[in-house]
Chains A and B, each alone.
Chain A
């Protein structure tokens, strides 16, 4: 077990399609987090930016870009890219700086202005890039992978498309309660069933959209938090940023094939399951201790997969957990009470930070209508391309 760091402040720019630049979203989120923490920007010893990937340099050097926009004040800086796990790795970097004594207070910021439609690889002819190859050779978009996982669950575990739709129904009802969410309307199973098929068996309302948005947190040492008058802050107890183990035998973005298991027997448990396991081990807790979870519901079916990978239930029993209302607000372990990516959409570098914002508000008891009663322990789970995956555990 490692030491803890305090979450002094959390802030967001509301998500949507606003048509402005990612720097603006990040600065609004950063200022909100600083105000929430009661910390002046000049007091911040380090800034870590989660990178967005757009043409030109500023997106790739997010830390310094946000620092410049907030006003150069000499802080230490880092910029982190790990696709969808960028925000979690930015948090991990900030935490390591605090625990090692390199910085007392760190501002972590992620923001994006997402392009319309499918995510796609950067331009040019690049046959050495697996992400380029899956588009060029197969036309395999992100939703096609989500479709493969969904169909596999139907075949192996007996999940139905209505089970998937019920995930959307649950998350949309929660998103309707969240002022930072992009989609704030309840959705019915009939509406999901009536939406167009994107990647069989998944429909438009099973798959999360792309959005603009920003999220930020202010982390500090426990010592700084005490001096600052925060005697009992929300604390981060684990950030697992693990890689898969060879052979990785579940087909994953953006690969065209799995590792072969012909020479080496695969480890028990998948990569996704190992992400949570590492976090539990680091935090010294288990799934039975959780009050809530925020997971990457890139598709409705993928949310069900996370129930099993987080150990909320046995393999194959996720749909049962959902049907019994265990993961709804008021259930034993509510999942995605923020509304999830179903209600926010993807703003890639911001979303793993936004998950931690939600945990912070929930653990403080300040989440309003979507408050999980008596929340003490929360977990997040996210996954990026190329074997990036992270889980954050926060406690109060």
Chain B
């Protein structure tokens, strides 16, 4: 039996492998970029508002900071309470051309010991968790020098 692959949130990312991208929106009037996507109104207070068009974000960025969660996070984060807790590293990544910092989990196997501020990372498709019917997909940050 195969599970359906479903994004944990609709419209935040797209594609596979090398074509995987985070999706934001860009205001046609002032050029502001939004992630998570803003689809209703431009949030620049000096902008009268324009069309908000979907735009893929840069694949590569640099680590702004990082941490982890050594204790199991509460719901609505989904974990299997039967299994011992293994923390994910969380990385805040600065995307140069968008001048935005985006938080995400590191790929499995990468711990805080593998990371430094300023290190280059790339966005890759990842799995958040699986249940009986569904594989919930997400984005992960992966250090580019590491092949984990």
A residues contacting B by CB (< 8 A) are 117-118, 120-121, 123, 125, 127, 130, 132-141, 143-144, 147-152, 155-156, 196-202, 246-247, 249, 251, 255-264
Separation in Å of the B96 CB from the closest CB of chain A? Answer: 10
With A140-B90, A148-B90, A260-B32 in contact, do A135 and B73 touch (Cβ < 8 Å)?
yes
B77 touches A139 (CB 8 A): yes
Which residue from chain A places its CB closest to the CB of B8 in the assembled complex? A137
Whether A258 lies near B100 (C-beta < 8 A) is: yes
Q: Quick one: closest A residue to B12, CB to CB?
A: A137
In the complex, what's the smallest C-beta–C-beta distance from A266 to chain B, in angstroms?
9
Complex: A123 Cα to B76 Cα, angstroms:
8
Query: Chain A nearest CB: distance from B114 CB in Å?
Result: 12
The chain B residues found within 8 Å of chain A, CB to CB, are 8-10, 24, 27, 30-36, 43-46, 64-71, 73-79, 88, 90, 92, 97-105, 112, 116-118, 128, 138
B124 to chain A, nearest CB (A): 16
| Contacting residues, chain B, for A123 (C-beta < 8 A) | 75
Partner of A117, one of B46, B74, B77, B90: B74
A199 in contact with B70 given A139-B88, A155-B118, A262-B98 (CB within 8 Å): yes
Cβ contact of A200, chosen from B67, B117, B138, cutoff 8 A: B67
Give the distance to chain A from B79, nearest Cβ to Cβ, in Å. Answer: 8
A133 to B128, CA, bound (A): 13
Which residues of the partner chain A approach B116 to less than 8 Å between Cβ atoms? 155
Q: A144-B90, A200-B67, A262-B33 are in contact. Are A251 and B117 (CB under 8 A)?
A: no
B67 cross-chain contacts in A, Cβ below 8 A: 144, 147-148, 150-151, 199-202
Query: A144-B68, A256-B36, A257-B102 in contact; A246/B43 too (CB < 8 A)?
Result: yes
Instruction: Indicate the member of B32, B67, B78 with the most A CB atoms within 10 Å.
Output: B67
Cβ–Cβ < 8 Å partners of A141 in chain B: 69, 71, 73-74
* A262 close to B65 (CB less than 8 A): no
A199 to B112, CA, bound (A): 10
A120 to B77 CA separation, bound complex (whole angstroms): 10
